[in-house]
Structure 1
């Protein structure tokens, strides 16, 4: 298959350096061909054989590029994605898709008009804990689900100096971590009937939201999405309750920590969660008993393998534009709910 599909990553901050570049390099059939960055020395220290360009338009003008990955600050996603699509490339946008629903819709319209593939990097569909939860729900192990609590808490009392923490369009925790939790909820349960959100600033020196508590309302089910920056000893990831049992999960999927530490995706033990959670089953006599929980391994490379196969027209997109737009509908509803103090019905297509 030669050197594989050629990929250009635009941006070499946290997303490009820690996630996209290593995952692309570790996915058979893909070649990391170009990185767009103003700091060639930083890129070449990690990737000595990769071409570095300072201007994204130069990469977009190169016909050898098959796929462009947008890994830049959130407020630049839409314009760069549209430019790459119009130059004839397939495009992956890091989450969030855009800063609001209208921008995201404009990108999707451009992809359709250009006849190019468009996806959004909702990589946490391939978290080990989410895969375990999906297994439990699809097997009916927990019975009809009544409550899902999905947390992504941290303890960061000092506000770091980075664009995500500075006042400006597209910053804040809801647009940073919210897309992960929303996408997972929609994959399991679809669009909610309504959204009720509390989005706040808690740290004294913070300029943008660093807390959210969002309830997705379904006819009977309630899904609670929660994240905060002042949670020492943060541990809860999931608490899921159903008519036949409950599942509790503490600690995050190990892949991000491994990537930050320079781990090689796909290495021995990759994506294996050392703490697969606690499963409680309701027995026929009504007693609650421990049971062995599922423990699948996570693998973010599945996203890029899916992109490779979609471009080759042998499989569907790993994340479709319509799915990504639904995430944006819930994110927008959360913003509107927090601003108005009311329950908001997400806009539907």
Structure 2
């Protein structure tokens, strides 16, 4: 694939990436729009278990063909595949795409355990293909600014990080509540973003210990093979001495649609990303000095599709395996620690592997 300079227009490009979309519910269509808007790819194939969803997505990509399976999509000759299917399918489908010689952009989580995530990263390395996951909160203007403060040590020595994500509604698809198909509940759905934000901002430091407490319906989770957690508290102790505290939930009586924050405390100051008025999309970032605060960023900020657009541009530039993908395993290991389980405790989900 030839490199594309920023000065080239769509009419002068020698080649464009051919991309397929596997799973086109709301999130899949939103990411499709973001990728189409980069004007670096052609959407050539769409697959979804729902014909109605597939038809709706096709409106965003004239010329794309509707296919019935991942195999049929790969046979169409794609350079990359965007995967937005139930979590249990992510690892298997990603490996299949990578082994076929195409790149992958996958919804989180990439796998239900660190073992599954490791297998995907190894497949990407073998194939020398681009692999990325939709960890979209990294791309908020607020977190970009906070990470700069952390990395430059302007906040001094970081010793505490508090992370919160409460979703007052919870997912609307039944597979999220199936331990086998989802791999977990609110930690797998929301906690993955929080863990990634903390480790990413701190440049993926060494983790010493991880512990977690899981609840379902207001009671300690008794059997994670039969139900998933809807509330979780976790503590992640780093070898540097920094402590990360995490809380996430579905359907909590939190007084707002959503409560989302990532707060970093250092010896010379603090900084926080917080959602505004219960919004899932509007965030403000502030820097703290004692009792004073300064605004770093404020809405509006159209961040939702930036991770997908970034992947599309890098794909068009011919980027292969990026060792940064190995950090996905670090995040997955922390999630394993919160659940207190070995990777082999989740078995292969039965049923279909197509979208």
State the TM bucket, normalised to the shorter chain.
0.7 to 0.9
Equivalent residue in structure 2 for 1:13, among 8, 25, 34? 25
1:68 — aligned with what? 81
Alpha-carbon distance between aligned partners in 1 of 2:323 and 2:51, rounded to the nearest angstrom? 31
Q: 1:2 and 1:152, CA in 2 relative to 1: closer, same or farther beyond 3 A?
A: farther
- Would you say 1:38 and 2:62 are equivalent positions? no
5+ unaligned residues in a row in structure 2: which ranges? 1-12, 220-225, 344-355
Residues 3 and 31 in structure 1, CA contact (< 8 A), matched pair in contact too: no
Matches for 1:121-200 after TM superposition, within 5 Å: 121-156=134-169, 160-169=172-181, 170-189=183-202, 190=204, 191-200=206-215
Per-residue deviation at 1:312? Answer: 4.6
- Where relative contact order (Cα < 8 A, 6+ residues apart) is larger, the structure is 2
2:293 is the alignment partner of 1:290: yes
> Of 240, 246, 269, which aligns to 1:245?
269
CA contact (8 A) 2:216 2:228 kept: yes
Q: Secondary structure at the match of 2:228?
A: coil
Contact 2:287-2:296 within 8 A present in 1 as well: yes
* Count of aligned residue pairs for this structure pair: 315
Instruction: Report the Cα distance in structure 1 between the residues aligned to 2:168 and 2:58, rounded to whole angstroms.
Output: 32
Contact 2:17 2:41 in 1 (8 A): yes
Answer whether contact 1:119 1:317 (CA < 8 A) is retained: no
Q: CA deviation at 1:47?
A: 2.9
Q: Name the structure 2 match of 1:280.
A: 288
The residue number in structure 2 matching 1:217 is 237
**Are 1:163 and 1:171, in contact at CA under 8 Å, matched by a contact in 2?**
no
Structure 1, unpaired ranges of 5+: 258-272, 283-287, 340-349
For 1:87-98, list aligned pairs within 5 A: 87-98=100-111
Q: Secondary structure at the match of 2:296?
A: coil
Question: CA 1:71–1:210 in structure 2 vs 1: closer, same or farther (change >3 Å)?
Answer: same
Deviations 1:250-281 (A, max 9, x none): 31699965xxxxxxxxxxxxxxx5x5244331
Q: Which residue of 2 aligns with 1:343?
A: none
Q: TM-score, normalised by structure 2?
A: 0.77
2:142/2:296 contact within 8 Å kept: no
**Residue 129 of structure 1 contacts residue 253 of structure 1 at CA under 8 Å; is this kept in 2?**
no
Q: Which residue matches 1:324? A: 328
Shift of 1:76: 0.8
Distance 1:10 1:241, change over 3 A: same
Aligned to 1:264: none
